[in-house]
Amino acid sequence: MKKLKNEKELIKKAIAEGVKYGETRGVVEFEATDSANDKIEYIYRLLVHDKVIQSIPEATISQQTMRHKLAIWASKLK
């Protein structure tokens, strides 16, 4: 897994866009007290469920791989 140049900024963008996506779709309401890790996991699983992104094999899934996958997704957004 090759680290992206601006992965931290892309993760922030992915969280913001993912929260907007989930709330627009009406499936989730995030609270201010939700941790970034919780948001990342929920957004990742929602996007996989909606077939927006391809899933990672369950044996290799971790917080780091989910972050990386969401960063790639955010880099492709306009």
d(Cα 78, Cα 64) in Å, to the nearest integer? 24
d(Cα 69, Cα 76) in Å, to the nearest integer? 11
Amino acid code (one letter) for 56: I
Instruction: Indicate the pTM of the whole model.
Output: 0.91
Q: In the numeric block, which tokens belong to residue 30?
A: 């995030």
Instruction: Examine the pLDDT at 1 and tell me if it is beyond 80.
Output: no
What was the pLDDT predicted at 5? 85
**pLDDT averaged over every residue in the chain:** 94
Convert the pLDDT of each residue in 3-39 to its tens digit. 788 999 999 999 999 999 999 999 999 998 999 999 9
Rounded to the nearest 10 degrees, the angle between the axes of helix 36-49 and helix 7-25 is 60
Convert the pLDDT of each residue in 28-68 to its tens digit. 999 989 999 999 999 999 999 999 999 999 999 999 999 99
Q: Name the percent of the chain lying above pLDDT 70.
A: 100
Q: What is the DSSP letter of 59?
A: G
